[in-house]
Structures are given as structure tokens and as C-alpha cells.
Structure 1
Amino acid sequence: MKIRENVVIRDGMLVGFSELQPLSDKPTLASHILVFYVRTVKREVSIPLAWYPTNVTPAYQMAIIFWELLNECEKRGLQIHAVVADGMSVNRRFFKLVSGSSTIPLDEPFTAPNPHAPSRPIFLCSDPSHLLKTTRNSLLSSKPGGTRYMNMSGFDVLWTHVIDLYKEDQASEILSKSLLTSEHIHLTPYSKMRVNLARDVLSWRVGKTDEISLHCCFTKLYVYSRRWWYSVDGFLNDPILCSSRGIIDPDGFVVQNELMTL
């Protein structure tokens, strides 16, 4: 989590900036905070477990802290079933360290051993919300001369196709089929962080709409193929969807109890 110098927060609200007197031997101020957060699937428990001001946190230090926190949680009966983190390179190195693997498997679960319960491994998961935004950003950058130029089976997958759909919706006198707004199309550094905007662009409505012309069909396919993320992200973030038994994964196993995020 990135933090900013001299920002003043009072009663949970940003009220301005402070000017501190210069120090002769000014210490290096932290630019980030490393947070380990524990929550249950149904959010009966949802608390920051530990946090550390830092500038750079190497993966090996994260791994040491993780094992210490895991030990404290398990000793107190708080079972850790999964670790969820975004896709930063340091997090991927951290996953490799705690798993004991030099590579991240793409076709099977990625786990770390649990010394307190050898039969209950700890699943290492990428944050679904972060992956959703990354997928939308890849589509946003896909254009001739852009940083990406995606295609499927030789056909273009372009952000301009999403813009065309938005324009068709705006010109229609009937209700919008895609629910896309100017905020979805004209993104800023701040709005790129909003998960709901990425979710709407990669939604079932956009993937199945008839307004996108035939030559854009592979952009539709790219969007529609991402619809299964909602079965993951929706369950994890909607306590109503979590039954009293917990979440049931595609293999029929109940996934319940605690997650650790960082």
C-alpha cells in the first residue's frame, strides 16, 4: 500500500498538508506500508493483523513475517486456508519462496505447506479484483501503435470496439444494453483503480450484446470468456452469496474459514 508524505488525516478525512521543519539528519521516510490482513469468507472476522512501514520489502522478508504470523494464528485456533495477493513481482517471488517451487503452475492449484496441519495446504491465490483490472487494462492498451495489440485466431481484439459499442448505446433512443458510461471509456489513473468500472466493461452484458458488429466478434469473445471471474470475485465479496456451509468450488469441496491477504 503506497502512502504519501505530509498528508494530514483527521477523523478519517483528508484536511490538508503539513510543512515539517527540515531535520539536519533527516531519516528516510516510509513510502509504503506492508499490511497482512485476515478475513473469513463470510467476514465474521475482517481485521488487519500486522502492518510495517517500509520502502522496499524483499520477498524473503515477507516470507519470514508470513511464517511468524501463520504460527501465531494457528496456535490460537485461527486456521489459514489461503493467501491472496496482487500480481506484483515481489508477491510472485514471495509465493515461490513459501511454496518451495521455482515456477508458478498454470494448470493446477498453487499451494504452500502448512507446518501446523500437513494435510491442509495453504492455497496461494492472485487477487481476482486485481486480475480483473489487469485484463481490462490489457484491452484498453490494445490498439494499433499502442503498448499492446491483441488478437485471437488472427482477429483483432481492440479497445476501439468497446468505444464503438458505447457510441451505439449513446445514439440509441432505447435503454442502454451495455450500461457503459463516459467513466468506463475515458479512464484516469484514479478511475483505473475502480474495480466496478473494469467489471462493467468485462461483463456479460458487453460480451453478449448484439450492438457490436461482426468484425468485432473476437473482442466480444475476449470479454465474454472472462465472465467466470464473477463466480470467484462475487462469492468472495458478497456475504449474502456465501451460504452457511461456505463457498463450494467446482469440484464440490467446501471452501470456508480464514484467508490472509497482503
Structure 2
Amino acid sequence: MVKHCCIPGFSNTSSNASLFRVPAKRFYAGAKYEWAEKLERLIRSMRQDQCLDDLYKKDELKICEHHFTSSDFLKGHTLTKLKIGAIPTLNLPEKSCHIIKQRQRPPPTERKLELVAYHKSLNDLEKSAIRYLPDSWQFQMRNGHIMLHSASDIGIFPNIVIKINNALTIHAAYHGWFSNAGTAIGSLDVEKTTLTGIIRTVSDFPVCQGIMPKTNCNIENADIIKHQRMSYDCSSEMLTVPPPPSTYQIALRSRSCEVFLCHGNKCKPCLDAERRLRQTETRKTRYMEELENKPLSRATRKSLPSRTVATIRIQEQKIEELEEIVSSRLENEKLQLGLDSGLCVDMDTIFSEGLRKNEVSPFYQLFWKEQAKINKTSKKGRRFHPELIRFCLTLAMKSSGAYEQLRDAGLLVLPSRRTLFNYRSVHSSSPGFLDSTIQELKEKSRSMEEHERLLVLSMDEIKVKENIVFSKTQDRMVGFVDLGESRPANYGEAATHALQVYARGLVTSFSKPLTYYATKSVASFQLSSIFWECVGILEDCGFRVAAFVADGPSANRKMFQELNNMNLEYPYKCRNIFNAGNEIFLIFDPPHLLKTVRNNLYASRSGGTKLLAKDGKVIRWRHFTHSSSQTI
């Protein structure tokens, strides 16, 4: 069959001109879909006949080259193509001879528009995604739902994620924050909307800006949550590990924030939370103005000068009173009698007889022998035994106040706090991995069999004293928050916790503390970065990480979700990015899980804060107390 140009008045064929196929819009999406729709509208404005519809159905509609300019072509070595978006503008008829004369229209009648059901089930939605999903988007089928997200997003969470379940109910997430079903997203009819229309509608929804306080104050409100939005530097061509975040923004949102809006720039929950927050700030400002001339209970950096002056005057009066008390006690001590020398001889005799009869432990014997030897030397010539130093270090760590009181009593001769500090400062350490630790791990792995190199990582935080001191050995101030050079943190703040990472052998008794970091409030993505750094160093040293154990706070639970990429089918393991084919099991510490269950059960008592239920049946603390009182 000979092909002809579809423009009226031109009968060019493939023998005397180049013909180009008109794209049918039912086969395309995105830019090609819009181009095909413009071409169809232009051709139908010049032709209205049954032959045109047949050519569209057979996808055999052609336009010759005489209707396009030279800039509308893409010329190759052997083939010439039309550019996407090229519209015929040359040699077009002023009025088509095929247009049928218009008849007088009948009066309009009201007709109900019947919407076409594009998706009747999740399988129809999957077929549409395979056929019409834009190139910049990807989809995943999971347990009873489909996930759509942008393929160009790199990071822990994509910018926008669309989730549709079996009931064709739609949910959307913005940087990991999912909207509620009753919001603007939930009103979108998935059954009557095309897949491209769903993506375009969700992308065009305005996003809630969150809460904006008047001042940069610390937000301590259970109804307000920090929402982190991260962007990554992807300039490197090959990414073997998740890249560290280059910049990240933190937005304050209400716990029930709707995220996606129909109009405006803030949702109602965020507006209400912002109003309550500003009312709290106003009340706090008024309270500080009322306390302007009152004395301080404790000094702070934000103390008012007038309150500081009032406090100094009160402290001066207290100092004068204390000086009078000290002078009176010194006078009373001069009148007191000393300890009887005979009692000292009796005590020495008792300890000596006990040592000769070997009725005490070896450490007890060493301790009293050292005390007898030290009492015979001068203060400048005292040398303490290493075991005695270890014992005193343990006592000082338990309670520094009790240790000082024991020294001041004069019953025992113990090292001073300065001596103990010098012993603790012999080995200088800093947050992060030390070269000596890495070298020791490499030497240890060479002497192990392959099955002995399986390790279990554990991570936990311990409370430390909040203090900033100067270290002579390191020649710097220590005590600040420190998560390493490659991780963003609130540097300049005093650390309140120490994050310890420990490694233990899975089939051996090998144990080794790897590193520590000074923290105050650590986020999940920072914990993930520390975890992968430890795994990479251990794999480089010859070990293989088989499992990872941590307790169950919210940051650790979110970190586990990030490690396994929100895999709901296998939430207890993740892929080892440093050792292809191997997996790392993610385990919550069983004692902490038991403690959490116990606390939740106890909180469900009468007058408690929680109500536990399973399968519609309430679980209360009195059920356990009642069963324990029953005899079996």
C-alpha cells in the first residue's frame, strides 16, 4: 500500500518526498505524549473524515518533509528523524476542503460525565507503571502495595515517595515524612486517574513549611519533631559506600503535620503548634522580666547583669558567715585531745598477727604491707604499688567525694587526685579510630582461622560528666561534642554521653573496644555513618562482621530501617556493602527489650500513661499481679 501525506492538498508519497510517522499519544508519556497531542489537534483541525480515524488506529499516519523547517530535523549518517516537539508550519492549507458544513446545533442537553476506570486493582496499576511510568521514576512491588519514587534521588529517603495499597488508598512521603490518609493526598482517586496524572498531582501539591519560632531557642515539646532534609554531594563517579551528607536542613513540624496541602503554606496542626510555641515564648519573656532584679539560683551564660550583681552580694554575705564558722572550728580543734598512741600500737599488732597467720586474702596482705611501708617514708619519697593504684582508681571512679573523705580522715595513706589523674593521662586517646588499634587488629587477624574472624559489633551510649578541661598531653581543650571530621555535629557544645563501639568474636573469646565518640544528641544517619565506618575498617583488617547489636531507642530503630533500606520483608538484616554476597544481621539487645516490655506493662496500671491491647483485648498490669498471687 502506497503511503501519502495526511495534510489536505498534498499527495506526496515516499517515492518523491520523505515521510515521517505521526506518533500516537496512546503509546507515549511525558514530553512525547504532549507532542503527539499537539500534532493530533493540528491535523484534526484540517481534516474530519473516517479515513483519518482508521489511520490513527493503525498507527500509519504520515507527514511529508515539505511542511517542516530545516531546524526540525535530526540528521544522522544514513537516517533523518524529526525532533521531539517539531510542529509542521509550512505549506498548510488556509481552509480544508474536507470540512463538512456545520449544521445548526440542537439545544444542549445535560449529560453526566462518566469517568473511565483506569485502575481497578493493584495489578492494573503495576501494568501502567511498567508501560507508562516516566524514565525519571522507579517503582517497587512489596507486600500488598506499590512504591513509586524518583530514580534520581540519592540519599536515605527520596524527595517524594508514593505508596498505594491493595485498596487503592494512596499515601505520600516528603523526605521520609508520610502524610495522613485524611489529608489532601488521601482525597486523590487512584481508580479514575492515570499514573502520570497521579505523579504530576502529588508533585504539584504545596509542601507545609513547618513551624518557625521567633527565636533560635531549644524546642522541648513532645508535640514538635525535628524533620531533617538531607542533600548529598554526588560528584564522584563511583560510590562504594553511602556518601556523607554535605548539607542538611532541619524543619520543625507538628507530630500530626499533613505535609501536603491543597492551598496555603502551612497546615492547621503546624499553625496551632506554632501559636502555642509563641505563647510559651511570650510567657517566658514576661517571667524573665519579672525576675530581672531577683538573685540567681545558678549562674548561666544568659543571666541578666542586674541579677548577677544581686547574687554576688548575697554570696558575699554567705562567705562572711562561713569564715566565722571556720574560725570557731579552728579554735575548738586546738582544745581537742589527740589519738592515744597505745590504740595505734594495738591496731598495728592486730594487723601484724593477721598477716603472719595468713588469715586474709592476698590483696589484703599486700594492702597493709604497703601501708606499713609508706608510713615509714616521707611524703616526697612515697611510691605506690601498681595494684594499690588500680584499687584507688576504681574507688575514685565510683565516688570522688567518698575517696577524698577517706583520704582526709587520715586512717589510710592514699594517692592524691592529681596522682590518679597523671596515671589516667598516660595513654592519650581521642574520638575515632587510632592507627595503633587498626595495626593491632591486622596482626590479630593474621593468626586466626577463617571461622574465627567472624565478629559481632555492639554500640551503646554511657552517661559522662559534662565538663570542658584542658589536656596537657594533647595540648587542647577536651569535652566537646566530637563525631569525627567527616560528620556534621553541634561542635562547640559540651558532650553529655560517650558512644562506645565494641567488637566480640562470634565463636571465640576475642573482644576489643574499637572506638568512641563524644555525643550529646546523635541522629540516625550519623549512627549509620559510624556503623559503616567500623564495618569497612574491620573488613579491611581481615575480619567479617556477622551481626550488629544495639539497644532500642528511637534513633537506633530508625538507623536499622535505614540500614536495610526500609525492607519490610526482611527487617532483621542488611547487605554488607564492603563484602558482596554477605549479610549483617541486625539484633536488638534482649535485656533492653525485656525492660521495655516491663516498663510498658507497668505503665498500663490503673492511673498509668499507656493502654496495651492485642486482638481487641486489653492487657493491664493487674493481670500479672493477680496471676502471681494465685496458687498453682
When the two structures are superposed, what TM-score results if normalisation uses the length of structure 1? Answer: 0.51
SS at match of 1:11: helix
- Please tell me whether residue 50 in structure 1 is matched to residue 535 in structure 2: no
Superposition deviation, residue 42 in structure 1: 4.4
Q: Does 1:12 align with 2:394?
A: yes
Output the CA distance in 2 between the equivalents of 1:156 and 1:21.
47
Extract unaligned runs of 5+ from structure 2: 1-390, 405-465, 470-476, 481-492
Alignment partner of 1:64 is 2:529:
yes
What does 1:153-168 align with in structure 2 at a 5 Å threshold? 153-168=615-630
How far apart, CA to CA, are the structure 2 residues paired with 1:145 and 1:117?
Answer: 52
Q: Structure 1 CA distance, aligned partners of 2:542 and 2:596?
A: 36
1:125 aligns to 2:587 (yes or no) = yes
Distance (Å, rounded) in 1 between the aligned partners of 2:531 and 2:619? 40
CA contact (8 A) 1:111 1:121 kept: yes
> Which letter maps to 1:16?
S
Contact 2:604 2:612 in 1 (8 A): yes
Q: Distance in 1 between matches of 2:629 and 2:524?
A: 45
Distance in 1 separating the partners of 2:571 and 2:529: 23
Q: Give the whole-Å Cα distance in 2 for the aligned partners of 1:22 and 1:126.
A: 33
* Correspondence for 2:546: 81
Structure 1: distance between partners of 2:557 and 2:616: 31
Aligned residues: 158
- Deviation (angstroms), 1:158: 2.1
Within the alignment, does 1:90 sit opposite 2:555 as a pair?
A: yes
Q: Which of the two has higher C-alpha Rg?
A: 2
- Change in Cα spacing, 1:150 to 1:98, as seen in structure 2 (3 Å) is closer
Q: Structure 1: any 5+ residue segments left out of the alignment?
A: 1-8, 170-209, 211-262
1:220 paired residue number: none
Sequence identity, in percent? 31
Structure 2 CA distance for aligned equivalents of residues 135 and 145 of structure 1: 18
Deviations 1:105-161 (A, max 9, x none): 2x5343222123221111222222211111121211123432122244554422223
What are the equivalent positions in structure 2 for 1:145-184 lying under 5 Å apart?
145-168=607-630
| Contact persistence 2:468–2:494 (CA under 8 A) | no
Once the 2 structures are TM-superposed, how far is the Cα of residue 66 of structure 1 from its aligned partner? 1.8
What is the SS of the residue equivalent to 2:556? Answer: helix
Maintained 8 Å contact 1:139/1:158: yes
Counterpart code for 1:84 = V
Higher relative contact order (CA 8 A, sep 6+): 1
CA contact (8 A) 1:32 1:53 kept: yes
Q: Which residue of structure 2 aligns with residue 241 of structure 1?
A: none
Structure 2: distance between partners of 1:113 and 1:143: 42
TM value normalised by structure 2: 0.23
Which residue type is aligned with residue 536 of structure 2? Answer: N
Contact 1:35 1:50 in 2 (8 A): yes
What is the DSSP-based 3-state SS (H/G/I as helix, E as strand, rest coil) of the residue aligned with 1:12? helix
- TM superposition shift of 1:43: 5.2
Q: CA deviation at 1:76?
A: 1.6
Contact 2:574–2:585 (CA under 8 A) maintained in structure 1: yes
| Aligned-pair Cα RMSD in Å | 3.3
Aligned-pair distance for 1:12? 2.6
Equivalence map 1:233-244=2 (5 Å): none
Q: Tell me whether 1:31 sits opposite 2:496 in the alignment.
A: yes
